[in-house]
Amino acid sequence: MKIALKEFYKISLPLLIVIVSLRIFEYYTTTIKFDIDTGIIKILAACLWFDVTAWLKYSLPFFLLFVLLFSIHKKSAKVVLFIIYLLFITSYVALLVTFAERTVPFDHELFLRNANDMTETALSVLSVHYIYVVVLLISLAAYILLYK
């Protein structure tokens, strides 16, 4: 169990670092877009506190899954968690792109739109704002490098 805990945090701590880095990038782009200049440090600290506590809260189910898989096959447990975290980082950046480019919240249109239309919209945003692709690649690379 002690070895599983050590291996779990070896995989999970780099995720926290990447999440915090992405949150800082998200906050930076949001403050520029909406011209926010008051209470920046207080809001950023609250965001970072939320990320750390959310990471701790959501680590428990992944830890239980990891321990279960680790008891069966150690290498498989590491690979499965690593892939889950890579998918999580990709999803996080996708949400960052989605919410950074919208000025109105989602409503029923989210569920009424055709999947092909949403994909086409996302690709058009990425073609214009290629910085998000760079952020995704840097985030994935940072996680992989921090893990090793």
- In order along its 148 residues, the chain shows pLDDT tens digits of 889 999 998 999 999 989 888 888 888 777 777 666 777 778 788 888 988 998 899 889 999 999 999 999 999 999 999 999 999 888 888 777 777 666 555 555 556 666 676 667 666 666 666 677 777 788 888 888 887 7
Give CA–CA dist 144/138, Å, rounded.
10
Kindly report the pTM of this predicted structure.
0.76
To which H or E segment does residue 127 belong?
helix 115-128
Pairwise CA distance, residues 91 & 105, whole Å: 18
Contact between residue 55 and residue 16 where contact means Cβ atoms under 8 Å apart: yes
